[in-house]
């Protein structure tokens, strides 16, 4: 069975109690902390930056922090998030002037690197940088907000991405982000994803452990 990872998006957490929320979701069995960075420029929303990432580390959070950059330009934020204790840093290729350079900056900073594909962004951006990515993240909603509905065309795109990754022979995680729920996670895994971001589907429930357990049961079925 694939090594599935569940990455709750803290976008749907209670920001007034963020440290506690992150501790609770990790105690409930989450693998990564998915950290959505929005700049009101590349995407129409404004969220959190490196200071908050650093604050989580200072609070004692040890789990991998999966930083999803929805910012333009990206390079300055890459440096700041490396300093702030990020573990994985992904960015949208349209937001970088020099994709290869941005990917190299991430790895040189000791983090795992990745590219994020919006629903209409072609996977061809991967062609010449397959050896420089540790993660491919497919957006299954248009980025900017939590709580949107999963776009079904993502399933075919996941199959294509899975094929490209397997053919490359590199060790690359395939993550999906947006509208993932207990009800569709099995179908998404069957299309090739191994890493699942879920914000509202986890944080809008009362019992995080019960929700994550249900997701894992779906993945094991």
114 is annotated as contributing to ligand binding: no
Out of 36, 39, 134, 194, the active site residue is 36
The rounded distance, in Å, linking the Cα atoms of 21 and 159 is: 33
In a 13 Å sphere around the CA of 109, the CA atoms on its Cβ side amount to: 24
The rounded distance, in Å, linking the Cα atoms of 97 and 102 is: 9
**What is the smallest separation between the CB atom of 177 and ligand DX5, expressed in angstroms?**
5
Q: Which is nearer to ligand DX5, 74 or 198 (CB)?
A: 198
Contact between 185 and ligand DX5 per CB under 6 A: no
**What is the smallest separation between the CB atom of 202 and ligand DX5, expressed in angstroms?**
8
> β-strand 33-38 against 5-8: which pairing, if any?
unpaired
Choose among 133, 77, 135, 76: nearest CA to 107.
133
Contact between 39 and ligand DX5 per CB under 6 A: no
Q: Which range, of 79-87, 123-131, 168-176, 197-205, touches ligand DX5 by CB under 6 A? A: 197-205
Tokens describing residue 172: 């690359």
Q: Which is nearer to Zn ion, 31 or 36 (CB)?
A: 36
Q: Which is nearer to ligand DX5, 134 or 177 (CB)?
A: 177
Partner whose footprint covers residue 112, from Zn ion, ligand DX5, none (CB < 5 to 8 Å by kind): none
In a 13 Å sphere around the CA of 26, the CA atoms on its Cβ side amount to: 16
Site for ligand DX5 in 1-30 (CB under 6 A): 9, 11-12
The rounded distance, in Å, linking the Cα atoms of 127 and 110 is: 23
Tokens describing residue 14: 């209670």
- Helix, strand, or coil (residue 139): strand
Q: Which range, of 48-56, 75-83, 152-160, 194-202, touches ligand DX5 by CB under 6 A? A: 194-202
- Helix, strand, or coil (residue 138): strand
Positions touching ligand DX5 (CB under 6 A) are 9, 11-12, 34, 36, 68, 141, 143-144, 146-148, 177-180, 197-201
Binding site per annotation, positions for substrate: 9, 68, 144-147, 177-179, 199-200
Positions touching Zn ion (CB under 5 A) are 36, 68, 177
Binding site per annotation, positions: 9, 34, 36, 68, 144-147, 177-179, 199-200
């Amino acid at each position: 069975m694939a090594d599935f990872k569940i990455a709750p998006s803290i976008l749907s957490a209670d920001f007034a109690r963020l440290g506690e929320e992150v501790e609770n979701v990790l105690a409930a069995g989450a693998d990564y902390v998915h950290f959505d960075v929005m700049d009101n420029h590349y995407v129409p929303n404004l969220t959190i930056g490196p200071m908050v990432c650093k604050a989580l580390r200072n609070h004692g959070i040890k789990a991998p922090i999966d930083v999803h950059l929805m910012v333009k330009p990206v390079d300055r934020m890459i440096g700041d998030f490396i300093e702030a204790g990020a573990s994985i840093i992904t960015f949208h290729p349209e937001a970088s002037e020099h994709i290869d350079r941005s990917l190299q900056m991430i790895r040189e900073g000791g983090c795992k690197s990745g590219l994020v594909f919006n629903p209409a962004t072609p996977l061809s951006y991967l062609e010449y940088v397959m050896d420089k990515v540790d993660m491919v993240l497919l957006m299954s909603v248009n980025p900017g907000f939590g709580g949107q509905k999963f776009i079904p065309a993502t399933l075919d795109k996941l199959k294509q991405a899975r094929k490209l990754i397997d053919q490359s022979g590199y060790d690359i995680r395939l993550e999906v982000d947006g509208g993932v729920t207990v009800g569709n996670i099995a179908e998404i895994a069957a299309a090739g994803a191994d890493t699942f971001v879920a914000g509202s589907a986890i944080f809008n429930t009362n019992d995080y452990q019960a929700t994550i357990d249900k997701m894992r049961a779906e993945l094991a079925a």
